[in-house]
Amino acid sequence: MSRDNVSLAVVRRLPRYYRHLHELLGEGVTRISSRLLADRLGLTASQIRQDLNCFGGFGQQGYGYNVEKLCREIGDILGLGAGLRAVIIGMGHIGHALCNNFDFLSAGVTLVGAFDVAEGVVGSSVGGLTVLHADELETFAAQTCPEIGILTLSRSDARAMCRRLSALPSVRGLWNFTSEDIRQERDGKPVEYVNYNDSLMTLCYRITNSRE
């Protein structure tokens, strides 16, 4: 099935579908109508049907969706079963927050390495990993073959590290938390970014342009 033409807007809704379906499973719900699923997600039933139709038919008229099956299908579409491994570069506040608090496994990803250059940080233990010196990245990657590089280092070092990560044969995508605007696909490798500044500015727009 060709997924090349599924819009990124639809793709970005899939994780929420997955999370809510996973919670419904945990609540013991076995089937759900598109209307109830829509209520829960804050979407319309028609939007849900349209989205899911991009990936093939799910659900039955009058029956709704089988929660376990739909959850599993969306998980497959998202690549959660692919066993992707990630390394994280830059152990400041955000790096620590990710290593300690973020549930990588819920996204099917295993964090396998953490890197920094600061003296007190290299050698310390964070989230079950020992922080290695960034000089060891290439050697480590040759042995462990991570697919995802996570950039949580300072902006000034971001582009150089991005090039190093992209050059690693195993790396297939980057997760960028720095404020350096590394967005374009490099050599076809997708870059997802988390940019607080964009998000806050969007909130300011919505506040100052609301209908009150």
Residues that bind a second copy (CB under 8 A): 3-4, 8-9, 11-12, 14-16, 18-20, 42, 77-80, 82, 84, 92-94, 96-98, 100-104, 106-109, 147-148, 172-175, 181, 183-184, 188-190, 192-212
Q: In the chain, what is the straight-line distance between the N-terminal and C-terminal CA atoms, in Å?
A: 46
Q: Give the nearer residue to a second copy in terms of CB position, either 123 or 190.
A: 190
Q: SS3 of 184, please?
A: coil
| Nearest CB to a second copy, comparing residues 82 and 118 | 82
Q: Residues 8-11: contacts with CB within 8 Å, 24+ apart?
A: 10/51, 10/54
Rounded to the nearest whole angstrom, what is the least distance from the CB of residue 104 to a second copy in the complex?
Answer: 7
Q: Please, what is the minimum distance in Å from the beta carbon of residue 140 to a second copy?
A: 20
* Rounded least distance, CB 107 to a second copy, Å: 4
Non-local (6+) Cβ contacts of 179 within 8 A are 155, 195, 197
Least Å from the CB of residue 127 to a second copy: 11
Closer residue to a second copy, CB minimum distance, 27 or 206? 206
Q: Report the Cα 161 to chain-centroid distance in Å.
A: 20
Burial of 141 (0-12, 13-18, 19+ CB in 10 A): buried
Report in angstroms how near the CB of residue 155 gets to a second copy at its nearest. Answer: 10
C-beta of 152: minimal distance to a second copy in Å?
Answer: 10
**DSSP character string of 71-133:** HHHHHHHTTGGG-EEEEEE--SHHHHHHHHH--GGGGTEEEEEEEE--TTTTT-EETTEEPEE
Classify each residue of 39-53 as buried b or exposed e, where b means 16 or more C-beta atoms within 10 Å of its C-beta: eebebeeeebbebbe
Q: Which is nearer to a second copy, 23 or 136 (CB)?
A: 23
